[in-house]
């Protein structure tokens, strides 16, 4: 449980750290640097501990799929979206991850059949998203309504990655399951930065550098090692309990520490989204 609660605390704080870093670096540069450093660190830890790194050809499609889904698409839309919405709102939208994970597990991995309560929970969460968009998000930024929808692609992509990772978790060491896809994803992210964002300035000032360091060492090395360790020792549904707690803490951190605006629509929509996720996760 120590690992579980540690993940909740750290991931709750990463949303505001991302938002801070985006004031100094373009999205895919920030992601690329983060993962190009974090991935090799995880692999170096494996080497120092004498753990074989499974580079086998049969594992490469799995690594590539996780890299694209989690560390390019998912993080890419979150970083891009946080340019235009608050960090707390981004965390709330990502809290739909357990719903998407359950649906993907049902459709492609023959997971637990959805009963009426889970469908009802999904409907409540959807209503929360509608409520959030019913508020005047354009007051936050003209692109905020679009950004909020784009961010929802993140939990969708991560859901596929989570189910795939769980399926392969007994074959591949958790540090490798994290380190190799993170490294691949970081290289791809840097390529995207070079292709589309290299004209944007890089501002090497203390807050931006601190954000990169925190997200790389704590928000990536520590959390993803812990996350993939949990995948080996807990059910996917229980791991996704992280999503119940993280958005609430992220909203509070963004409001009290980041000075972010939290409207009535965002609070009401967040309550519905989280309530729906909790209902969907109930058994029986």
pLDDT category at 78 given cuts 50, 70, 90 is very high
Compute the CA torsion angle 64, 209, 191, 250 (nearest 10 deg): 50
What is d(CA 40, CA 67) in angstroms, rounded to the nearest whole number? Answer: 14
Of 267 and 228, the structure prediction assigns the larger pLDDT to 267
The model's confidence at residue 164, banded by pLDDT at 50, 70 and 90, is: confident
Of the pLDDT bands very low, low, confident and very high (cuts 50, 70, 90), residue 191 is very high
Residue closest to 166 by CA, chosen among 177, 154, 179: 177
Whole-number pLDDT of residue 1: 63
pLDDT of residue 284: 47
> Is the pLDDT confidence value at 103 over 70?
yes
Which percentage of the chain shows pLDDT scores above 70?
91
Q: What is the pLDDT of residues 113-122, one digit of tens each?
A: 778 787 888 8
Structure tokens at 74: 């998912």
Residue 10 has pLDDT above 50, yes or no: yes
Q: Quick one: tokens of 70?
A: 């989690």
User: Looking at residue 237, what is its pLDDT?
Assistant: 60
Tokens of 20: 């801070």
């Amino acid at each position: 449980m120590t690992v579980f609660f540690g993940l909740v605390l750290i991931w709750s704080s990463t949303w505001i750290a991302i938002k801070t870093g985006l004031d100094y670096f373009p999205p895919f540069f920030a992601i690329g640097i983060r993962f190009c450093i974090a991935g090799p660190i995880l692999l170096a830890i494996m080497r120092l501990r004498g753990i074989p790194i499974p580079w086998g050809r049969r594992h490469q499609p799995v690594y590539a799929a996780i890299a694209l889904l989690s560390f390019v698409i998912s993080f890419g839309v979150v970083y891009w979206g946080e340019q235009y919405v608050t960090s707390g709102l981004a965390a709330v939208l990502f809290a739909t991850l357990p719903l998407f994970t359950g649906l993907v597990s049902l459709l492609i991995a023959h997971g637990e059949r959805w009963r009426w309560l889970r469908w009802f929970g999904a409907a409540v969460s959807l209503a929360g998203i509608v409520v959030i968009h019913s508020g005047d998000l354009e007051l936050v930024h003209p692109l905020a309504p679009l950004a909020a929808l784009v961010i929802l692609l993140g939990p969708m992509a991560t859901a596929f990655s989570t189910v795939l990772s769980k399926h392969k978790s007994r074959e591949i060491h958790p540090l490798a399951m994290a380190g190799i896809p993170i490294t691949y994803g970081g290289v791809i992210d840097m390529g995207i930065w070079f292709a589309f964002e290299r004209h944007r300035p890089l501002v090497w000032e203390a807050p931006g550098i601190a954000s990169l360091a925190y997200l790389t060492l704590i928000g990536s090395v520590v959390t993803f090692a812990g996350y993939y360790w949990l995948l080996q020792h807990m059910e996917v549904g229980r791991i996704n309990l992280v999503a119940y707690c993280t958005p609430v803490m992220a909203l509070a951190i963004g409001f009290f520490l980041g000075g972010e605006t939290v409207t009535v629509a965002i609070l009401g929509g967040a309550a519905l989204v989280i309530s729906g996720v909790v209902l969907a996760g109930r058994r029986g």
